[in-house]
Structure 1
Amino acid sequence: MARRVGIKDVAQEAGVSLTTVSHALNDSLNGRVNAETRERIKEVARRLNYHPNRLARGLRTNSSGMIGLLTEEIATTPHAGRIILGAQEAASRHNLTLAIINAALQADADERRNDVVALLDRHVDGIIYATVYHDTVTPPQELLSVPAVLIGATDRTGKLPSVVPDERQGAADAVRDLLAVGHRRIAFLNGCEDVPATRGRLLGYHDAMAEAGVPVDPRLQAEVESEARGGYAGTMRLLEQGGDPTAIFAYNDRMAMGVYRALAERRRRIPQDVSVIGFDDQAPIPESLFPGLTTVALPHYEMGAWAVETLATLLGDEAATADSVLMPCRTVQRESIAKPHKTRARTGTAAS
């Protein structure tokens, strides 16, 4: 059996003391190891395949090297994988382990408190509290006993840093893309749920239209179920009530699937007759549609990574503070947007 590589081997290979290796690998702020030496030691550790003994280090530093991710049923949503991946990869860079508890969506205060205590009982060094469908939350008091950050909502008490997607900016950019190629008859199919995303995306739609000086036709708006069947029904309603859109902005990619079907049934070609843009970039939908769906990506991976990076900063320096972040959403261009077809008849049939 091969001998386990130890810290002494790294020190000998790098030509430095054991203390210097310890400070470098733990990114100690008090070790006074210059950047060049720190990187050289880390490279030696990687080459020798050295892994610190976490149990021993934890006993020395009173640190478990573990952070908790408490999710409010996001682990069962389509986007959770990206949040978890971003968090896991950032944790790996900091030699941290991620422990996940999936909490109930409508959990009461006692249940939330118990979930936090369950993580604290496992001696986590910090906690990420991830939620959905909320603008603000009041975190359990126990969450304040360790460094903590929020994903998906802001702290009503103002004590914890948070990261949320800029839904309003993402929606405004989606509509600007349509305006930029000449569309003015832009419809918005919004979800009927009262959640931050529906409110933010509606505001973004109005922002971009007002910015371009384009009045919003009430016939070009509808609130429907935020699934494919809602997108289908909403598109049929838009076409039947005479709004005659040249472009449709769907609240999410699942609704966009219904938009595609309705337009196909009405013999409207995408994007020659009607351009379509979605929101979420929910794999595998956008690339499975034909033509590929242009959509706005939620920054789930980036939010997960931000949460861990912020926790690592707070854990590494007791005096450190962190600001809350409104994270931008980027547009993913595919093939569902084109200039409006000016010769298309307004009767609902495609131009020949």
Structure 2
Amino acid sequence: MSRAGNRTGPTMHDVAAAAGVSQATVSLVLNDASGTRFSEETRHRVQDAARQLGYRTNAHAKVLRDGVAGMIGFVGDFVATAPFAGKIIEGAQGRAWEAGLLLLTVNTGGDKALEKSSLETMLSYKVAGVVYAGMYHRVLEVPEALGEVPAVVLNSRDRSGRLPSIAPDEELGGYTATRRLLDAGHRRIAMINIGIPDDDALPAAAGRRNGYLRALADAGVGPDPRLQRNGEGEVAGGYANTLELMALDEPPTAVFCANDRTAWGAYQALDSLGLGVPDDVSVVGFDNQETLAPNLRPGLTTLELPFVEMGRRAVELVLAGSGAAGSGAAGSGAAGPRAGGPRTELLECPLIERQSVAPPNKPRNRKPEKRRKP
């Protein structure tokens, strides 16, 4: 036999020596054994040593020991084609890989037959669990089959309340965006939403609006219904609503747009009126869409959806046995749809500062006259 054929690669003993821990600790850390407690420093030492040595866990042994394959299923509707898909999958895949597992990803395109078939195939392969993801934050009808394995709903919520969910903290995001404008000195702050906030299926629209209203209330600013507009989250809606807002007798000095595409439309409308951002009107968006927000002129101050962190956290809950088939672990966010059931963990959306916010300019005593179509 050739020399190359005798190579077995680094062993668990080698990882233990490099990390300065016992072989048992390496085994427990790399296999994410339940009921064990290690400091983050120890966990990182073991993972770094394994990565540097090129150590691979024995997938066959894991199946024999645990009765599950070395894979976690990831099923989404339009996730793989959405602008933010890369980050949400990156987070989930990275966390799965740290646990020695592969992420088996299926994009169904909203096809329920494909979704059912995909889930049945994943379950037949005895995946360790399933992450069920939505393209945007909404309430979903979750397949009954997910009750057979540890499962987590990602970027959406389970209408039945059976499964735990991971979602952005929309209300805190709306509050942070509005607070940023208030801190800059604005009091006439408009909001252009991404849908009808009273629609129970759209927690993103409701949460961002509630955060906006709460920030105004905390600052002692009474809400003006004329400054609140509902759109569809597209450029055209941002454009049309901004024109209407700026035609008011007392136009806003700032606009909170509930997504970045709406903000792009607002930029175009303000430019068509001969108004500048932020000299005449400040604008804050939501999403931090990488192909858009940094490339507007000036760059758009916006809230970032924490997709990498959400993907990682969803896999962590699957590994911990969350879901109807697991322990039903509760998270640290708002309560889920069913009282006493699994909860929705809400992750903070950080503010990304660019150049679209400034103190309010002196009010203009004329209505804008110049209007050009985008």
Q: TM-score range by the shorter chain?
A: 0.7 to 0.9
Shift of residue 116, structure 1, vs aligned partner: 1.8
Letter in 2 for 1:97: L
Residue 237 (structure 1) aligned with residue 244 (structure 2): yes
Alpha carbons of 1:67 and 1:213: their partners in 2 closer, same or farther (altered >3 Å)? same
Q: Which deviates further from its counterpart, 290-299 or 59-68? A: 59-68
Decide whether aligned partners of structure 1 residues 89 and 30 sit closer, same or farther in structure 2, where only a CA change above 3 A counts.
closer
Q: Which residue number in structure 2 is paired with residue 305 of structure 1?
A: 312
**How many Å separate the matches in 2 of 1:205 and 1:40?**
43
Q: Contact conserved, 1:85 with 1:301, CA < 8 A, in 2?
A: yes
**Residue identity opposite 1:217 in structure 2:** D
Aligned amino acid, residue 119 of structure 2: V
- The counterpart of 1:200, out of the listed 197, 204, 207, is 207
SS of the residue 1:206 aligns to: helix
Matches of 1:216 and 1:309, distance apart in 2 = 40
Matched, 1:76 2:81: yes
Contact 1:133 1:196 in 2 (8 A): no
Secondary structure class of the residue paired with 1:104 = coil
Residues 187 and 248, structure 1, Cα contact 8 Å, conserved in 2: yes
Do the aligned partners of 1:187 and 1:247 also contact (CA within 8 Å) in 2?
A: yes
Partner in structure 1 of residue 58 of structure 2: 53
2:345 is equivalent to residue 342 of structure 1: no
Q: Is the 8 A contact 1:7 1:52 kept in 2?
A: no
Counterpart CA distance in 1 for 2:13 and 2:180 is 57
Distance in 1 (alpha carbons) for counterparts of 2:195 and 2:50? 54
Alpha-carbon distance in 2 for matches of 1:214, 1:40? 51
Q: How does 1:175-186 map to 2 (within 5 A)?
A: 175-186=178-189
Aligned partner (choices 147, 151, 154) of residue 151 of structure 1: 154
Deviation at 1:34?
10
Take 1:57 and 1:127, find their aligned partners in 2: how far apart are those partners?
Answer: 18
How far apart, CA to CA, are the structure 1 residues paired with 2:35 and 2:309?
29
Q: What is the alpha-carbon distance in structure 2 between the residues aligned to residue 181 and residue 292 of structure 1?
A: 17
1:312-351 paired onto structure 2 within 5 Å: 312-314=319-321, 321-323=329-331, 324=343, 325-342=345-362, 344-348=364-368
Equivalent of residue 263 in structure 1, options 259, 270, 276: 270
Cα distance in 2 between the residues matched to 1:257 and 1:51 = 47
Q: Would you say the 8 A contact 1:217–1:243 is kept in 2?
A: no
Amino acid across the alignment from 2:329: T
Cα distance, 1:240 vs structure 2: 2.2
Secondary structure, aligned partner of 1:314 = coil
- Residues 35 and 226 (structure 1 numbering): CA distance in 2 closer, same or farther, change over 3 Å? closer
What is the CA-CA distance between 1:265 and the residue it aligns to? 1.7
What does the per-residue CA deviation read over 1:130-167, in whole Å, with 9 as the maximum and x for residues that have no partner?
Answer: 12456433422221111111112333333321111111
Alignment of 1:86 onto 2:94: no
- The answer to whether structure 1 residue 291 and structure 2 residue 298 are counterparts is yes
Structure 2 length normalisation: TM-score?
Answer: 0.81
Task: Tell me if structure 1 keeps the 8 A contact 2:157–2:165.
Answer: yes
Per the normalisation by structure 1, the TM-score is 0.86
Q: 2-side partners of 1:270 and 1:32: how far apart?
A: 51
2:337 alignment partner in structure 1: none
Q: Which amino acid aligns with 2:116?
A: R
For the residues of structure 2 that align with 1:233 and 1:142, how far apart are their CA atoms? Answer: 44
Structure 1 position 104 matched with structure 2 position 124: no
2: CA distance between counterparts of 1:125 and 1:190? 39
Quote the offset at 1:118 in angstroms: 2.2
Letter in 1 for 2:89: I
Answer yes or no: is the 8 Å Cα contact 1:244–1:346 preserved in 2: no
2:71 to 62, 66, 70: 66
The total of aligned residue pairs comes to: 347
SS of the counterpart of 1:202?
helix
Q: Which amino acid aligns with 2:190?
A: A
Matches within 5 A, 1:114-133: 114-132=117-135
Q: CA RMSD in A?
A: 3.2
User: Which residue identity does 1:327 align to in structure 2?
Assistant: L
Name the SS of the counterpart of 1:296 in structure 2.
strand
Alignment partner of 2:73: what SS?
A: strand
Give me the identity figure in percent. Answer: 42
- Are residue 252 (structure 1) and residue 272 (structure 2) matched? no
